[in-house]
Amino acid sequence: MHEEKIVVGMAAACSTFAIIACLIVVQSIYKTINEVHDEVIDGVQVFCVETHSAWTEMMDIQLAVSPPSKPRENPFNSIFRSKCQNFAGLPSWCQCEPVRVTCPPGLPGPPGPPGQDIGERTDFQHIPANCRSVVPGI
């Protein structure tokens, strides 16, 4: 019985030591993860500042080198199409519009030949419709 108490005491001491060691290791790992997180956030902020300044410099160079651009077109012009025979955009000397015919209609022609007499339809069967009254009492 005495040996059993010693074994139980040793097991309790070992498990207590293991729990304390786990708590220390977890705390150390948590601290390391927070340090890495802070380093990554700082690196991302530095990267954002550097890319923003590089982008600004590139746009300044592009504006200095490139010719001035034409004014922006009204976005609604691309949505609503113009009519097919709209010649408003042509120069005044262009005679591109076809001449419209304004002649009066001529006399009617002679009547055509009569159609063929195919007889009466035999495949048609008349079925009378039985409509019920919707209004009650009628």
pLDDT of amino acid 18: 97
For residues 11 and 29, what is the distance between their CA atoms, to the nearest angstrom?
27
pLDDT of amino acid 94: 65
Helices and strands, counts by H and E, the chain: 2, 0
Q: What is the pLDDT of residues 23-41, one digit of tens each?
A: 999 999 999 999 999 999 9
Contact 87, 96 (CB under 8 A): yes
Q: What is the pLDDT of residues 96-112, one digit of tens each?
A: 666 677 778 788 889 88
pTM across the whole model: 0.40
